[in-house]
Amino acid sequence: MRPSDTDKPPYVARVEKIEADHRSNVKVRVRWYYRPEESIGGRRQFHGAKELFLSDHYDVQSAHTIEGKCIVHTFKNYTKLENVGAEDYFCRFEYKAATGGFTPDRVAVYCKCEMPYNPDDLMVQCEGCKDWFHPSCMGMTIEEAKKLDRFLCSDCPLDDYAKRSLNTFPVSPSVEAKFCNTVAATFVGSDGANMGSRFLLKSGHIYVEVLVAIENLCLFVAQFNVVRSVTGQFVALMIYKF
């Protein structure tokens, strides 16, 4: 939709309903998409240039304000586009305009900087641990990273790497969840109860801790997935007990 200030980018909304009054004036009921800079938290490093948030802000507008059609992809589908056109956007969060809250409120993080994936940024995958890294966080330029055939991060021993089969690395992470390195996290039980904060050790892409606790007078070991909330808090979600 056309903004009153022509220097601003067009507003993006999802049309929910089209109706006309007795004077044949056509109105559209829309649900607005917000750009990151329009949200309470503002634009952050991991937000893509074409990223939008589907808000809970509804409105009624004249059909004459509609400028054209665009496509708001899911995050997964957007990362698969070979060419991103001017009409292509993506959305991975719903946004509550009044409170600044997001759904989901947790996202997977990558690299030593522990930031969510920005599809605009090049990342390289370590052949050892299979984690993803920004070239700048590894002391490389983008040009140097593009020339690499294989990459090994500083945390992976060379002798372990030599035992692995050698494959060329992809240039961007899958949108499937991969989790952060060893962290302090808030534990949440299967019933949603807060179980305190402890440290986790990684095993592959799943984090396992020998958790000594009393539940019905029984000790148990639990396995957790660790994700980082939009606000930066680490949360460990129990998968199952051993």
pLDDT in tens, the chain (242 residues): 666 666 788 899 999 999 998 888 999 999 999 999 999 999 999 999 999 999 999 999 999 889 899 999 999 999 999 999 999 999 999 999 999 999 998 889 999 999 999 999 999 999 988 999 999 999 999 999 999 888 999 888 776 555 554 445 555 666 554 443 444 445 444 444 444 444 444 433 344 443 433 333 333 444 445 555 554 454 555 444 43
How buried is 178 (Cβ within 10 angstroms: 0-12 exposed, 13-18 middle, 19+ buried)? middle
Phi, psi (5° rounding) for residue 3?
A: -80, 160
Nearest-angstrom CA–CA distance, 225 and 204: 11
pTM exceeds 0.85, yes or no = no
Instruction: Output the pLDDT for position 139.
Output: 92
Question: 197: phi > 0 → left, psi -120 to 50 → alpha, else beta; which?
Answer: beta
Look at residue 179 in the predicted model and tell me its pLDDT.
40
**Per-residue model confidence (pLDDT) at position 164:** 53
Instruction: Give the phi and the psi of residue 30 in degrees, each rounded to 5.
Output: -125, 160
Establish how many alpha carbons lie within 13 A of residue 221's alpha carbon, considering only the half-sphere containing its beta carbon. Answer: 6
The phi and psi torsions of 52 (rounded to 5 degrees) equal -130, 155
The reported pLDDT for the residue numbered 118 is: 95
pLDDT at 156: 85
d(CA 173, CA 130): 10
In the prediction, which pLDDT does 8 show? 81
DSSP assignment of 22-57: TT--EEEEEEEEE-GGGSSS---TT--TTEEEEEEE
